[in-house]
Structure 1
């Protein structure tokens, strides 16, 4: 029996709050019917609450959500403007001149995460002005996407000059140095945000950008002639692809997520750890189904374990189920704080040894 499920913290929080105070326009039977039709949830013993059906109406959480809309989200967007996050998409499109703004190869994801969080607030607190602002930002993102679907602005602007010195440059082209380039990490957060935006608004403008990029990923990576055999340096594209599969039913997205997992820890298929990361730090030291101790960068690890759980359930894979059970036991028995916190070491945001807290 699988003991962990891929449910976001936000989903859990809103599910708990909904037991206290929520309203819905549909009956519980109708809700269950809608939830069970999703290919990515139908096989779960425990079905995540669909955020569309959790609407806060109380005097505690709803004012918090509205305050986030009024203060936090505008401030976050303002900082993205000041730091050049949005400018990068316009520079990539050719609409604006200049060099890459920012110092990290994953700066694009700041914009995606704002859209994801802002979208979730719209479910309980409809806000036409905020929705319009998100549409404005999504239009800017779309301008930065290349014709074939590629979307990592710093690579488009100047592929031979990454914003961070620890991103290795060989020929200065797409997909090289995946250990550090964060191209696939950027894609994963794009998918997660597009999923949330669609769920909250029903609009497909952001989702279509994500689908276009995901189709390029499916075409680019694999073991067939002309494809690249590689895995992400930083996991999250796996869960993002599974969310797109949940919406579209496209098996290619689910299979791509599994490909990235199956080939982790198999150095003959890729050269992931070619710069500053150790294999264990990025969970690349063993094939995922052979891993039984939670190791390395805690953020990378939890994204990966969530995706492994999805694969175990959706593809009814006993090897994946056995692996996530062992990883779960190691984590909750030897490496978790009473608060639920994970990652004992400040350096590297990493797990420590067993019982190191």
Structure 2
């Protein structure tokens, strides 16, 4: 399950759209400045898609449907690039290309994620799975490519933007392949790499595209990308925690290696490790085994050490925000997005202010 996107499984095994993921660490309600940016991004998507798909009406209809479904589930944290651009004194237009690209790209990524997890709901999308797959691939590749080509003010900026887009899609594909490949065992480092590819790289792309639009130098662009990557990993952790505490944890049902599970495997002694690995397998089909696995992850010593490691990442992100921006309301909002995400990424008994 990708960051910010939730699907509810009914008792009969079918699936439907869940509520927007407000539990994954974003402040609610939307701050007015971000609500305005969200509306602006939606208007830009609605304006640009018909332009780039002028000769492809069926693709336009399917892609528009995907974007319409997923825009109801977008968390405020997706607009970190907008906030950071303002806090860094960049022009308000610097984040526009990033936000339009993000909206289209995430619609494709989350649709394909639903399909891969067998959580696709045709009645929600108004599309058959084959139609959604083709539209989803287009939203990940050709459509944002065409949007960036048309929005770029010059060739140098265009080339930089397209390089960010290509890199993100490759990282995400690699991470998703690892995520759906059966692995008997994993590690903290391996899961972090998957998280960076699935969620960190897209957030990093948005910040890098914004920094490039602002004319920042390579070192500064790299720092923006690093912040986005770290923030995206934290967003994935927040989404994991929301799933872990749900009635039917999708990650345990699918056998997904989450960071918290990998931490548990590393935290227990060698005699307990086979027991944990066996429970992971059993949890894919047995609710009681899933509950026992959740209880082991919630053991005080295990939970406290996991919390310590997450807080380290949170402090790194906050330090980068301060380094890349100037004090003021926008910097405060950027810090709030990070702090609330960190808080939501922590186990329930550890969720105290950072």
Is the structural similarity TM-score above 0.5?
no
**TM-score for the superposition, normalised by structure 2:** 0.31
Higher relative contact order (CA 8 A, sep 6+): 2
